[in-house]
Amino acid sequence: MFRFSLQNVLEVRERFEKIKYKEYSAELLVQQGLRQQTESRQEALRSSGQHLERVKQDSPSTLPMQWHNQYRQRLKEEMEVLAAQLRDQNEAVEEKRKELVEARRSHRALEILRDKELKRYRKTQERLERAVMDEIAAIYHLYHQ
């Protein structure tokens, strides 16, 4: 019966790879959320121009325009903060990606070792089986002469 000598290590590395994959996925979700927030701010900024035109037509006062300018300024500041967070998140995603690649590499290396060891085991088993079959054939031949 074949038993890989490093089976426990292989299982640990497989679990470690799964953990790294989950961490990478979580970082990607955060990155995607930040991108969606940025896009929603950009859309709000674009649509605010149309809103300003309606306000200009409806109100002779400058107060709504001041509010609108403050709103646009706040959106721009939020977008700057989100851009900084997104840059940091991109770095975190890249770091997790590298960790995942390294975990996959170490796991794959053990799988290759297991496959090679399995091939050697099978060759040995086939050689032993052939030797037994040859011996049985020789004995059969001796008794039937």
* Inside any domain, residue 129: no
* Inside any domain, residue 145: no
* Inside any domain, residue 124: no
Q: Total domain count for the chain? A: 1
pLDDT score at 47: 85
User: What's this model's pTM, rounded to 2 decimal places?
Assistant: 0.74
| pLDDT at 63 > cutoff 90 | no
* Inside any domain, residue 1: no
Expressed as residue numbers, the domain containing 94 is: 7-117
Give yes or no for a contact between 78 and 41, defined as CB atoms under 8 angstroms apart: yes
Higher per-residue confidence, 40 vs 48: 40
pLDDT in tens, 64-116: 778 888 888 999 999 999 999 999 999 999 999 999 999 999 999 999 999 99
pLDDT score at 61: 76
Q: C-alpha angle with apex 49: 48 to 53, nearest 5 degrees?
A: 115
